[in-house]
Amino acid sequence: MSKTMTVKLPAKQLMSCGEVSCEVLVNPIPRPEPDPIKITLKPKAPRVTLLDHKKPNSLAILQFTQQILRERGIEVGDMILQKDDASTPMPAALLASLSKEPGLVLCGVSD
């Protein structure tokens, strides 16, 4: 059973206050400092690309997904792309290639 997705981010700053003054506590939690990024909210093309990260049963789930989407008339790439394994970050070349994909990329599924 899934829990309600209400992620509460850790505080950015905490103060310790006495009667006359306050002291800032040192924040132990680093936060992302990304360069500006452009986010496309809607796919530019009505097409789905599937990526298997090789978790147990992930390929079977993606093949089933491919079948269901096609039955619903949605264009899905024939090839299910492969990532070496789920425990390592996406290779830069694959990430760069996927970032140019105008449709929706579906990845990270497993049982």
Partner 1 sequence: MSHGVLDDIEKCMDSGWTDGLPVIPPYGSLVDPMLEAMGWRGQDVVGVIAEQSIKVRAEQVAAAAVMAGCKPEYAPVLRALTQAILDPLFNVSGVEVTTGGASVLVIVSGPVVAALGFEHEANAVGGANSRVNATVGRFAQMLRLFCGRGGGVLESHGTIGHPGRLSFCIAEHPETVWGPFHTQFGLPAQASAVSIMASEGPNSCNNHYAKIGAEILDTVGDCMMHLGQTAWYYRSSGFVVAIAPDHMDLVRRDFSRDAARQYIYENARRQTDELVKAGRIAIPPLEYAEVEFGAMRTPLKFIEQLTFVECGASGGRFSAVIPRWAGSRNVVCKQIEGL
Q: Which residues bind partner 1 (CB under 8 A)?
A: 7-11, 14, 16-18, 23-35, 54, 56-57, 85-90, 110
CB 73 within 8 A of CB 103: no
Q: Which is nearer to partner 1, 14 or 68 (CB)?
A: 14
Q: Which is nearer to partner 1, 71 or 111 (CB)?
A: 111
Q: Which is nearer to partner 1, 22 or 71 (CB)?
A: 22
CB of 71 to partner 1, least distance (A): 24
Residue type, 13: Q
Please state the φ and ψ torsions of residue 42, each to the nearest 5 degrees: -130, 135
CB of 54 to partner 1, least distance (A): 6
Q: Which is nearer to partner 1, 57 or 67 (CB)?
A: 57
Q: How crowded is residue 83: how many other Cβ atoms within 10 Å of its Cβ?
A: 19
CB of 108 to partner 1, least distance (A): 11
The b/e string for 40-71 (b: 16+ C-beta within 10 A; e otherwise) is eeeeeeebbbbbbbebeebbebbeebbeebee
CB of 46 to partner 1, least distance (A): 29
